[in-house]
Amino acid sequence: MSEKPLAALKNQNVAEITFADHTRLALQVFSDTIIRVCPIDALANPSYAVVAKPQPTHFTVQVEAGVAAISTAALHVKIYPDHHMDVYDQNDRPLIMDYRGQRQPLNRDLAADETSLLEEEGHAGHEAVNAAAALTLIKQLDPDEVFYGLGDKTGFMNKRGYEYENWNTDDPAPQMENFTRLYKSIPVLYGLRQGRPYGLFFDNPYRSHVDLGKESPDYYAYSVVHGPLNYYIIGGHRLADVVTNYAHLTGTVPLPQRWTLGYQHSRYGYQDAPEINQIADDFRQHDLPCDALYFDIDYMHGYRVFTWDPARYPDPEMLITQLHKKGFKAITIIDPGVKREPGYPIYDDGKKHQVFVKTPAGKDYVNRVWPGHTVYPDFGSTKTRQWWGQCHTALTQIGVDGIWNDMNEPAAFDGPIPDDTVFSDNDKKSTHAKMHNLYGHNMSHATYAALKEQTGRRPFVITRAAYAGTQRYATVWTGDNHSLWAHLQMMIPQLCNLSMSGFSFAGTDLGGFGSDTTPELLTRWIEAGLFSPLFRNHSALGTRRQEPWLFGESTLAIYRKYLKLRYRFVPYLYDLFALAQSTGRPVMRPLVYDFDQDRQVYDIDDEYLIGDALLAAPVVTKGKTSRLVYLPAGQWIDFWTGAVIAGGQEIQTAAPLDTLPLYGQAGTMIPWGPAHDFITDEPDRAMSFKVFGDAASYDHYQDNGYDFAYQKGEFNQYHITFAQGKAAVTLTKAGYPAGLYSRITVTAGDQSFALQLENGKYQRIDKN
């Protein structure tokens, strides 16, 4: 400890640390709870993920006994002469401590020639990024430490004991717990160390590796193949605070159009316009609410993007008009790969404007995806994003309502894209190695900007590939899952960790995409996914079709029950999205988000919260008709029976095939919307509110549900209270007069109160 840092200086919002070996480290203070760590010469590097700016924050920089200390009101960081760093909370309790021991790599008993033999036989040899890592962080692992986040990586809710790679990958095999990488790279990690929360966000898009105690119970590690080492320390009193701090750092989910919260149906394999129209008619004839139908790649002419097959869809504009008249929105898939075919207008125009990714020799890089040999738009270029956006007029001008971006990892059938392929990075020349994980992000940005400009509505963009911050542009789904009970079970950890990673608008393919579903599996999936923000059934060509009327009357009846129930909850979900935009609070949450001091919830994988009012405990195991449910502290009300149940205990509850165990937290209230077959631009004229328990208050948000007028103050806010047997409604903002409810009903148990709007105030008119 005799060797001292040469300097520890405070320069505006940066603490500059210079070590004896002349390396220089910056700690950039964004706020009391967020500190960025990077080399000083990387401070000015732009980020695709981070949108927050450093705020004026009081902090101190001191050097004592050779140790530099940087302190805010919430975080204390100590830096040692040997480059080690420790982070403490405001009470000097350890949060993130460097590991000082010897690393213990796993012995996999594989020599290079043995790895080659395995690969020849069809087995994948273990590709450890840390073997080629340029930079590695190793942190001490506490015996009780648990981890969350990292987007939709496979496995259980608590990520301790797993290893993962951040390298966006399209793998059509059934994604099981041993998959280390999927379609997204969202390198934010949340930890609880002896109940104390923290976050680490590694903002480096190069391929990286995270080991969360698999290699050793003594440490966890982050490795990346190329620098700089650039990460954020995130603090907060509660885990919920850490999550919302990260959300504000990378941007919150924008308020979606209201109809996007309704049920959506899709299949890869719909043959033509008559079939699509018949599917729409069948939904209405079977009394099944539905808001959107999807067009997968087979709507295109030879899989050429921005085209329609002239034989199967001779008049797509008429078809979309017909769907709109029936209450359906039309969503079309768009892949990034452009068929290399002279005479194809999109290809010719792209060649003219030089928008495609290049080889190091300066030629268009060519690989193969659905249309055959293809070229790839260079979305890191502003010019390319604008060009790509303009291509969408072919769809928006005929009424397409949303765009589904797929294959944008980017996928490639003829082997991986070489690392040295030339991509743009903020209009500067870069490589595939750096821009790979950002490809879907930049494509989503281009699509979002195009839809906003061309339609004037809040864009509905879905993307399979993403990076941190993509939530600002697109909703996501977890990719090509399968009709397996294991994938139903994985849905809850995936969506909850996505939600905590900034992606509140997320979903899985209900029923499973690959393989054949069964009546029981489809039923349990529609129940488990009732509150999935993106509520979409999607299945693959060659698998059993998943229209619910094909599974018999009993399955159809249950499916109908939960679709109708979903629409009653849409106003609550919309409120939660308004809160998500303004506060960063996720919509769908693991129990640990709200109850981070209850160690019983740390490893719960089959329950989730919807806001702070509802707890869902679906059956996700074949053949089960009852289950154990853990209810956290407090009182809970059975949604179906009204029974009051004490929390802080595990209960056994009946769950026959038509029942989703669902509970309301006492002291909360939710809006309970009217029944709908589909959601229109017309506002509801009446709204009900359900009270759980003896007293509650609630703030309800309302706007027109489709455009950006709310950003100009055109929205309404209502404050609803129920206490001592009395209900009251206060209109706290009336910026959207056309939408004001003429009647509001508040129900609590067997009590019901009706209030009517008179002269700008809600007056009680009825009690029974």
What would the two tokens of residue 456 be? 């004037």
Residue pair 391/281 in contact by the 8 Å Cβ criterion: no
Q: Which of 502, 473, 569, 577 is nearest to 529 (CA)?
A: 569
Q: Mean pLDDT of successive 10-residue segments in the chain (768 residues)? A: 67 95 96 98 97 98 94 98 97 98 79 58 48 85 98 98 98 89 98 98 98 98 95 99 99 99 98 98 99 98 99 99 99 99 99 98 98 99 99 99 98 97 98 99 99 99 99 98 98 99 99 98 99 99 98 99 99 99 99 98 99 99 99 99 98 99 99 98 98 98 99 99 97 98 97 96 79
> Architecture of domain 7-97 in CATH?
Sandwich (2.60)
Packing angle, helices 485-500 and 519-528, rounded to 10 = 20
Identity of the residue numbered 272: D
Query: What pLDDT, on a 0 to 100 scale, did the predictor assign at position 174?
Result: 86
Cα–Cα dist 60/70, whole Å = 6
Residue pair 292/329 in contact by the 8 Å Cβ criterion: yes
Cα–Cα dist 647/147, whole Å = 25
Cα–Cα dist 490/500, whole Å = 16
Query: What pLDDT, on a 0 to 100 scale, did the predictor assign at position 552?
Result: 98
**What sign does the CA torsion over 91, 94, 95, 98 have?**
positive
SS3 505: coil
- Does residue 410 have a cis peptide bond before it, meaning omega lies within 30 degrees of 0? yes
What would the two tokens of residue 223 be? 């490795």
Tell me which residue has tokens 């290399």: 340
The residue extents of the domains of the chain are 7-97, 258-337+382-571, 588-665, 681-767
Query: Where would I find the beta strands (DSSP E) of 141-218?
Result: 146-149, 163-166, 184-185, 188-193, 196-202, 208-211
Query: Where would I find the beta strands (DSSP E) of 608-661?
Result: 608-610, 614-616, 626-631, 635-638, 644-646, 649-654
> Architecture of domain 588-665 in CATH?
Sandwich (2.60)
Residue pair 496/608 in contact by the 8 Å Cβ criterion: yes
Tell me which residue has tokens 């002419």: 301
Cα–Cα dist 669/688, whole Å = 10
Cα–Cα dist 593/601, whole Å = 9
Residue pair 150/503 in contact by the 8 Å Cβ criterion: no
Identity of the residue numbered 146: V
Fold assignment, 258-337+382-571: TIM Barrel (3.20.20)
Cα–Cα dist 312/389, whole Å = 26
681-767 — its CATH code?
A: 2.60.40.1180
Residue pair 426/205 in contact by the 8 Å Cβ criterion: no
Query: What pLDDT, on a 0 to 100 scale, did the predictor assign at position 567?
Result: 99
Residue pair 16/28 in contact by the 8 Å Cβ criterion: no
Residue pair 39/80 in contact by the 8 Å Cβ criterion: no
Q: Are 588-665 and 681-767 in the same CATH fold?
A: yes
Query: Where would I find the beta strands (DSSP E) of 75-228?
Result: 75-79, 85-89, 94-97, 135-140, 146-149, 163-166, 184-185, 188-193, 196-202, 208-211, 219-224
Query: Where would I find the beta strands (DSSP E) of 502-656?
Result: 506-507, 509-510, 536-539, 588-589, 608-610, 614-616, 626-631, 635-638, 644-646, 649-654
Active site positions, annotated: 406, 409, 480
**How many CB atoms lie under 10 A from the CB of residue 319?**
23
Query: What pLDDT, on a 0 to 100 scale, did the predictor assign at position 109?
Result: 63
Query: What pLDDT, on a 0 to 100 scale, did the predictor assign at position 461?
Result: 99
Q: How far is CA 43 from CA 11, 91, 552, 639, in A?
A: 12, 29, 61, 52
HSE, side-chain direction, 13 A CA sphere, residue 191: 27
